Amino acid sequence: MPFPRTTVAGLSLSRLIIGTNYILGYSHKSVAWDNHIKAMNSSVESIASIIEAFLQHDVDTIMATISVCQNVIDAIKTAEDRTGKRVYRVDTPAINVDNTREARQEAMASFKKCAEAGADFCLIHHSSCEQLVNRNTRTIDRLPDYTSMMRECGLIPGLSAHMPEIVMFSDLNEYDVETYIQIYNSIGYLMQVEVETVHSVIQNAKKPVMTIKSMAAGRQTPFVGLNFVWNTIRPCDMVTIGCLTPDEVHVDVEISLAAIERRPPNVAGRGTINNTFKDIS
């Protein structure tokens, strides 16, 4: 079955999004884990095989700092050529947000690079976006300058949020933003407030939300992490997952589909020594 879809700014996207931390080497665990990821997925071929595995399920949306990752750009093109399927690109650039003419020129150059890399969406990375947040005035200062630049480059604007206030203040001020990235997992990993508050922010967001860190960067199993997120977001929202291998893709997609369909996942049990439950059907 094709994976369920949602609509963002008029585009039909898979509700599951291909994450890239387990491609680019951002384990959130250790340098050793980072290096292990990079060793496994350092080539265009290895990355393309992961994207192709997702495309087998019609999961056709990818999130990354695409414009600064040539291997990812090449791997997406390779997967598209092999499958004949289009991949929608969500780029998350970190930009210079200093209030100077030179910084604005740098930001514009970053957006142009996103467009040249084939990005459909441009969501300012949280590390840049958070510098603009003014909690006192409940605004995101100068944000319209940047969304206007994105539109000029043919990009669909969005914001990446670790701070839930980014979603709230953007909605409050009706900025030209079509979607959000928001950290969301059941243990609150990397979330700045309690899980219940972030749940409320997502439920009340005026635009679709792309959730990230659903498995708390590997601190939860896919069954636990994915079941929680899929069953506590809206039908318009999305879940981003990173996978190390194509086999992992197929397992995580099945667990996700089972969560959405409210059924047990059809996956093999984990291998353990002397598993007394292995023969129970």
Q: Would you say residue 281 has pLDDT above 50?
A: no
* pLDDT for 25: 87
Q: Are 110 and 100 in contact (CB under 8 A)?
A: no
Strand partners, 7: 12
Q: What is the pLDDT of residues 257-270, one digit of tens each?
A: 999 999 999 998 77
Tell me what pLDDT residue 1 has: 75
Classify residue 4: in a domain, yes or no.
Answer: no
- The pLDDT confidence band at residue 275, using thresholds 50, 70 and 90, is low
pLDDT confidence of residue 10? 97
DSSP 220: S
For residues 122 and 110, is the Cβ–Cβ distance under 8 A?
no
Question: In which residue are the tokens 């006192």 written?
Answer: 136
Q: What is the pTM of this model?
A: 0.94
pLDDT tens digits along 13-71: 999 999 999 999 888 899 999 999 999 998 999 999 999 999 999 999 999 999 999 99
- pLDDT above 80 for 185: yes
pLDDT at 36: 92
Range of the domain at 69: 13-261
Across residues 219-230, what is the average pLDDT? 96
Q: What is the pLDDT of residue 187?
A: 96
Q: What is the CA radius of gyration of the chain?
A: 19
Query: Is 142 a member of any domain?
Result: yes
pLDDT for the residue numbered 58: 97
pLDDT digits (tens, 9 = 90+) for 59-104: 999 999 999 999 999 999 999 999 999 999 999 999 999 999 999 9
**Confidence band (pLDDT; 50, 70, 90) for 276?**
low
Q: Is residue 46 part of a domain?
A: yes
- Domain presence at residue 154: yes
pLDDT at position 279 is 54
Within a domain: 7? no
Residue 267 belongs to some domain of the structure: no
Residue 36 belongs to domain with CATH number: 3.20.20.100
What separation in angstroms does the CA of 231 have from each of 28, 79, 234, 256?
A: 25, 30, 8, 10
Judge whether 20 lies within some domain. yes
Say if residue 123's pLDDT is above 90.
yes
Q: Provide the 8-state DSSP code for 65.
A: -
Average confidence score pLDDT of the chain: 95
214 φ/ψ angles, rounded to the nearest 5 degrees: -65, -30
User: Residue 276 domain-assigned?
Assistant: no
Q: What domain count does the chain have?
A: 1
